Amino acid sequence: MAVVVVLVLLLAAGVLGSVARAGLYATGLYRDGGTPAVDPTVFHEASGRSTALPAQPSAPVLADASPEPGSRADAVASRIRDVGPVAGSTWGMVVDAATGETLFADRPDGDAIPASTLKVLTSLAALDIYGPDHRFDTKVLRDPADPAKLYLVGGGDPYLSKGPAGGPPARSSILDLAAATATALKDAGTPGDVEVVIDTSLFAGPGWNPDWIPVYRDYAAETSALWVDGARPRGAAIGPRDANPSQVAADAFTAELKRLGVGVSGTARGEAPADSAEVAKVSSMPVENIVELVLIYSDNDAAEVLFRHVGRAGDRSGSITDSQAAIRETLQRLGAWTEGMKIVDGSGLSRANLVSARSLTRAVELAIKEDGEKYRALATGMSVAGTEGTLAGRFVEDGTAAGRGLVRAKTGTLTNVHSLAGYVRSSDGSILVYAFLVNGEQEEYRTRVWLDRITATLSTCGCRG
């Protein structure tokens, strides 16, 4: 154990090179973003800085640019070839954002397992259907015919908290909902105890996706329209989830009601009658901020909630099946669907997902267009190489330094599956949109470094002449 700690500390201090880093990555002691296997605070004294992710997405590091069109496809392809090959199957595409011209294509319409880059498509669909300013409400309703019952109605707020509301971006709190409810009941002169009825009917069907394997229970909760703190009892991105997320939320709500002097006889489950009156509500942060958090932290749980919201479009039920149909319909309309694609979840956890490099580049193109304000959160939510989010610990090997602070991307990682999709400002001012996917490479670390080198070389591309 002492040897491992020394290796990790030396790595954090920049003493060890790629061999040690690759070895630690293989053992699970070195990871990209997310929740590290070793508490990042142990590096603080050794290196003088913490490697922990920022509490919230920071401001973009790129200055405004007005790129001129004209990047040459042969020059871009030459840069990519110079990086050299990687084992496994590859798919890729690079597009000049100013002209829409394809500058590089490696089976762009082929179908690959995307891992978490799928979150780009889930987020695109959610932004398209709801708009960036939409908020999801968690409500307390009351049936006029049975005033002794309060209906706690889940609105699909993925960041509802059982602690104090905070931000930015502002997270809503179930404690605030309880306080507003208690005030309303007292103002109405409600006598006696009330029963809290839990209503999670917003999303129909099972919460656990049948395409997920059991080990994913440490990576995603059973999706619910009502939970607190992402259904994570320990607050960690990787670890056990609440077995009954809506009950945990209801328990926090009733405990606060009791603390505020409201008598509660118990909890039950049901659906609020159609003519129920609103007692109180709290609203989520805007969808654009939810998307930013989903992307920068690769939040599986929140992505699955967005997926179910997509499944509510067109009077659908919000079930897994309806969500699969709705996301396909939406992406087809936006030109971000190619024949052969298959999307079964919102997070990219399932290996049954298949997407194309063209679909991912199309999504990013929509976000960075001058008139793409509706989808802009896709661009602002992407991690910055070597700086924040799931790219904070990357771009450290030879041939990658040029991309630090310039490459913006959503990462994707499963066993033998690695991907990057995003955009980069090259040295000649061009904005290049890209997607690269690798399936089947056994050397996990080598694959990640290859992706870092590919995108870093795009940042140095003076590819007009």
Full DSSP string of 157-176: -TT-BSS--BTTTTBPBHHH
What is the side-by-side order of every strand in the sheet holding 417-425?
102-106, 89-96, 431-439, 417-425, 407-414, 383-384
Cα gap 149→167, rounded to integer Å: 32
Q: How confident is the model at residue 290 (pLDDT cuts 50, 70, 90)?
A: very high
Name the token pair of 446. 């080598």
**What are the pLDDT digits (tens) for 71-93?**
788 889 999 999 999 999 999 99
DSSP symbol at 461: -
- The pLDDT, as a whole number, for residue 191 is 76
pLDDT at 377 over 80: yes
β-bridge partners, 79 = none
Q: At what angle do helices 18-27 and 2-12 cross, to 10 degrees?
A: 130
**pTM attached to this predicted model:** 0.86
- Tell me if 91 sits within 8 A of 331, measured CB to CB: no
Element (H, E) at 409: strand 407-414
Q: What average pLDDT score do residues 369-381 get?
A: 96
Cα gap 216→59, rounded to integer Å: 32
Domains by residue range for the chain, with CATH = 2-47 (no CATH), 73-131+292-459 (3.40.710.10), 137-285 (3.50.80.20)
- The pLDDT, as a whole number, for residue 459 is 94
- The pLDDT, as a whole number, for residue 69 is 55
Mean model confidence pLDDT for the chain = 87
**What are the pLDDT digits (tens) for 206-237?**
999 999 999 999 999 999 999 999 999 999 99
> What is the identity of the amino acid at 69?
P
Q: What average pLDDT score do residues 456-463 get?
A: 89
For CA atoms 100, 347, 407, 56, give the dihedral sign: positive
CB atoms closer than 10 angstroms to residue 165: 15
Cα gap 18→32, rounded to integer Å: 15
Q: How confident is the model at residue 68 (pLDDT cuts 50, 70, 90)?
A: low
- Tell me if 404 sits within 8 A of 385, measured CB to CB: yes
Phi, psi dihedral angles at 422 (to 5 degrees): 175, -145
pLDDT at 30 over 80: no
Cα gap 300→143, rounded to integer Å: 35
- The pLDDT, as a whole number, for residue 67 is 46
